Chains A and B, each alone.
Chain A
Amino acid sequence: MKHFLNTDDMTREDLESLLDLSEEFVEVLDRTIPKVPALRGKTVAMLFFEPSTRTRLSFERAAKALSADTMSFSPSTSSLSKGESLKDTALTIKAMGADALVVRHKSTGAQWRIADWTGLPVLNAGDGAHQHPTQALLDALTIRQHFGTLDGLRIAIVGDIRHSRVARSDISTFSALGAEVTLVAPSTLLPVDLEGWPVKVAGSIDDVLDVDVIYLLRIQAERGGASVFPSLPEYVSRFGMTRERFGRLQENAIVMHPGPMNRGVEIAPEVADHPRARILEQVSNGVAVRMAVLFRLLGGEVHDD
């Protein structure tokens, strides 16, 4: 594996093997000293051209748990604000000795360009509304831990799918692993053309309360201002995971959210704090999954100290 950019072209075997490896790192992270020397001497650079807390900290924690060194970059204090091009920034960081780049960028495909320019292994930590492949892996891992498999599960993804890189990566990953995916959103928040997508579509969250997994996406309040739905209360009435709706879910069903949450909008506070909301498990699994991907790209050997 040279880069980790996209879930669309990954096979079930690729995904399962990464999930299996992630489980090994879950076990590592459970130890008294949660660290292995697998990537000692390697340097991972974090290039987050878009503000991020959780993904960036998760990647840093993952790299350090593998004993890699990390370098960080933040757009507000960088030479980008002095007009440096993305290409020059990437080449500069390569010249400092980075072995791999973890990149988040608001523009679709920026990671593909950076991979071309630098020749370094690139991990996509989110590009535009296109892909966020490690999120999909950690989501799949969380579901697999609860149900044992994704095969035959019914998963509903609810919310702003049109602008969501999480949804795009999740859909191909869940479906490659055998789950049946239903998208739930007002048409203004669905992708314009779903031809060829392995999904069904529902017009209200009430239509999908019998699924195994409800995956809620963050609703950005400013979208209301851009007139993609009339108001937040109207959104909640059709698509919000209220306490009442939560009570109608199957007994074993789980609720997921990629964070950050808007309590009281897409998810009621009581639901967010319920044990069958797996949101914090998702966050924990994120570290293990990112360890697995870093390990695959930088090719170390797993051994104990």
Chain B
Amino acid sequence: MIETLFANGKIVTPDGVIDGDVLVEDGLITDIGANLKTSGEIVDCAGSLIGPGLVDIHVHFREPGQEWKEDIGSGSAAAAAGGFTAVVAMPNTEPAIDAGHLARFVSDRGREEGLVEVVSAGAVTMGREGTKLAHLDELWAAGVRIFSDDGDSVADAGLLRRAMEYLAEIGGVVAQHPEDRGLTRGGHMHEGTVSSRLGMAGLPALAEETVVARDLALVRLTGVRYHVQHVSTSGTLELVSRAKDEGLPVTAEVTPHHLMLDHREVQRMNPDVKMYPPLRQPADIEAIRKGLVEGTIDVVATDHAPHAAHEKDVPFEDAPRGIIGLETAAAVVNTAVGLQPVEFFQRMSVGPARIGGLDDQGRWLEPGGRAHLVVFDPSSPWTPETFASRAENSPFVGRPLQGRVVATMYDGRLTFRDGKVQR
């Protein structure tokens, strides 16, 4: 019997935080209480929260096809280091995940690495090309629950309608990266005061909002579960809020970076702040933070997007979009928003697991449950310097943050401890 005792922590439950210990035996939580004893390993949790392992429904692990940026092994390590026990990998790999065997390949590779549950999202259209439906049934049978052409919107409303009708029937979630390419063509950053000064073409806020507005009309028609990826503008937030009031089956996510950084960061023209959707205005940040606190935005998702150092070591406009986020997510959210512990785990574990259909994940800790958990010290200052990810394209390098992951346990095994991923 393998035992691990998480001692003297603040255990987060839906009813509040209780001081105590969590005992794990052979992959299961067997006891929660005070002064528990063990003959096994002890993780000192003094000052730290103990909660369900974090879940990220929006990562890019680049495998298959772009393993020089990241692979499922290095991505899993980054997830473990960030306190995550499950991730949903986006299907914009090479080839795109548009058929069952490809989705199985991703989850099998995740199991082989054994650091975190890896589930693939499925493409909505073949090759993410926006012209023909992907093998939606096959993907569903392979365990896919979230369908997205992430990186691109499904632009063709007729095709999207058919995908929605089909997925409404089988129960899948359509997750949209909302970006109207007609409005963003040539753009590299938020369209506004800073882009105007720099002479760069911009991605206007309304390029996101018009797609969401159109999609919501289709959701009303089809009844499909619809998830807005990386909400970045106050206008999108408003649309989501109204859709929820109306009772539409809509959820939304926000990235940690959109909660903390605004478009003025781009003044330095450093590619580590280049991503789509771009960093927006301070007023957007304020609205989105509020939306996350109030629950209009259901979850945090990182959009962890690794790129090799040489790919980002170019002028801003020539750089690929995307930044990594798994390892800094908890600290950035904690620093930017300061959620109550229950809300923190609701937005970063329980909520994402429900949207992603990850039945085993995002469960409040209780005896008999699978041991997926994280120990997070919200008061520990931390300045990120190095990463377990293969990539280091993070704007948070050298930026003082508040909060640090102390330990991560996936399925009863410590995957991260003492600042190191435990392979």
Whether A168 lies near B197 (C-beta < 8 A) is: yes
Binary per-residue interface labels of chain B (173-212) against chain A in the complex, 1 for a CB within 8 Å, 0 otherwise: 0000000000000000001110111111010100000000
Tell me the chain A residues, 70-122 only, with Cβ under 8 Å from chain B: 85-87, 105-110, 112-113
Residues of B contacting A87 in the complex (Cβ-Cβ under 8 angstroms): 313-314
Interface size on B, residues (CB 8 A): 20
Q: Does B247 contact A (CB under 8 A)?
A: no
Whether A128 lies near B318 (C-beta < 8 A) is: no
In the bound complex, how far is the Cα of B269 from the Cα of A131, in angstroms? Answer: 13
Q: Does B382 contact A (CB under 8 A)?
A: no
Since A108-B269, A168-B197, A195-B193 are in contact, a sample of 6 more A-B pairs with Cβ atoms closer than 8 Å, ordered by chain A residue number, is A8-B197, A87-B313, A109-B315, A113-B315, A192-B195, A192-B202
In the bound complex, how far is the Cα of B318 from the Cα of A128, in angstroms? Answer: 11
Q: Does A35 contact B (CB under 8 A)?
A: no
The residue in chain A whose Cβ has the minimal distance to the Cβ of B311 is: A85
Whether B314 lies near A168 (C-beta < 8 A) is: no
Residues of A contacting B198 in the complex (Cβ-Cβ under 8 angstroms): 108-109, 128, 130
Q: Does A191 contact B (CB under 8 A)?
A: yes
In the bound complex, how far is the Cα of B196 from the Cα of A109, in angstroms? Answer: 14
Q: Does A41 contact B (CB under 8 A)?
A: no
Whether A107 lies near B316 (C-beta < 8 A) is: yes
Residues of A contacting B191 in the complex (Cβ-Cβ under 8 angstroms): 192-193
In the bound complex, how far is the Cα of B152 from the Cα of A24, in angstroms? Answer: 56
Q: Does A3 contact B (CB under 8 A)?
A: no
In the bound complex, how far is the Cα of B247 from the Cα of A289, in angstroms? Answer: 66
Listed from nearest, the 3 A-B pairs whose CB atoms lie closest are A129-B199, A109-B269, A107-B315
Q: Does B399 contact A (CB under 8 A)?
A: no
Residues of B contacting A192 in the complex (Cβ-Cβ under 8 angstroms): 191-192, 195-196, 202, 204
Taking the nearest CB of chain A, how far is it from the CB of B262, in angstroms? 14
Residues of B contacting A106 in the complex (Cβ-Cβ under 8 angstroms): 317
In the bound complex, how far is the Cα of B315 from the Cα of A131, in angstroms? Answer: 15
Whether B316 lies near A108 (C-beta < 8 A) is: yes
Whether B193 lies near A193 (C-beta < 8 A) is: yes
Tell me the chain B residues, 255-311 only, with Cβ under 8 Å from chain A: 268-269, 310
A112's partner among B195, B200, B269, B313 (CB-CB below 8 A) is B269
Q: List 30 A-B contacts (CB under 8 A).
A: A85-B310, A86-B315, A87-B313, A105-B315, A106-B317, A107-B316, A107-B317, A107-B318, A108-B199, A108-B269, A108-B315, A108-B317, A112-B268, A112-B269, A113-B269, A113-B314, A113-B315, A128-B198, A128-B199, A130-B198, A130-B200, A131-B199, A162-B199, A168-B199, A192-B191, A192-B192, A193-B191, A193-B193, A193-B195, A196-B193
* Residue ranges of B at the interface with A (Cβ–Cβ < 8 Å): 191-193, 195-200, 202, 204, 268-269, 310, 313-318
In the bound complex, how far is the Cα of B185 from the Cα of A189, in angstroms? Answer: 16
In the bound complex, how far is the Cα of B314 from the Cα of A195, in angstroms? Answer: 29
In the bound complex, how far is the Cα of B186 from the Cα of A192, in angstroms? Answer: 14
Residues of B contacting A163 in the complex (Cβ-Cβ under 8 angstroms): 199
* Residue ranges of A at the interface with B (Cβ–Cβ < 8 Å): 8, 85-87, 105-110, 112-113, 128-131, 162-165, 168, 191-196
In the bound complex, how far is the Cα of B314 from the Cα of A107, in angstroms? Answer: 10
In the bound complex, how far is the Cα of B195 from the Cα of A134, in angstroms? Answer: 22
A128-B193 CB under 8 A given contacts A108-B200, A163-B199, A192-B202? no
Residues of B contacting A105 in the complex (Cβ-Cβ under 8 angstroms): 315
Whether A128 lies near B314 (C-beta < 8 A) is: no
Taking the nearest CB of chain A, how far is it from the CB of B293, in angstroms? 29
In the bound complex, how far is the Cα of B315 from the Cα of A106, in angstroms? Answer: 10
Whether B313 lies near A129 (C-beta < 8 A) is: no
Residues of B contacting A193 in the complex (Cβ-Cβ under 8 angstroms): 191-193, 195-196
Residues of B contacting A191 in the complex (Cβ-Cβ under 8 angstroms): 196-197, 199
In the bound complex, how far is the Cα of B197 from the Cα of A155, in angstroms? Answer: 20
A85's partner among B196, B269, B314, B317 (CB-CB below 8 A) is B314
In the bound complex, how far is the Cα of B310 from the Cα of A156, in angstroms? Answer: 43
A86's partner among B192, B202, B314 (CB-CB below 8 A) is B314
The residue in chain A whose Cβ has the minimal distance to the Cβ of B195 is: A192
Taking the nearest CB of chain A, how far is it from the CB of B251, in angstroms? 32
Taking the nearest CB of chain A, how far is it from the CB of B374, in angstroms? 37
Taking the nearest CB of chain B, how far is it from the CB of A167, in angstroms? 9
Taking the nearest CB of chain A, how far is it from the CB of B282, in angstroms? 13
Residues of A contacting B314 in the complex (Cβ-Cβ under 8 angstroms): 85-87, 107, 113
A106, A107, A109, most chain B CB atoms within 10 A: A109
The residue in chain A whose Cβ has the minimal distance to the Cβ of B310 is: A85
Taking the nearest CB of chain B, how far is it from the CB of A282, in angstroms? 21
Residues of A contacting B195 in the complex (Cβ-Cβ under 8 angstroms): 192-193
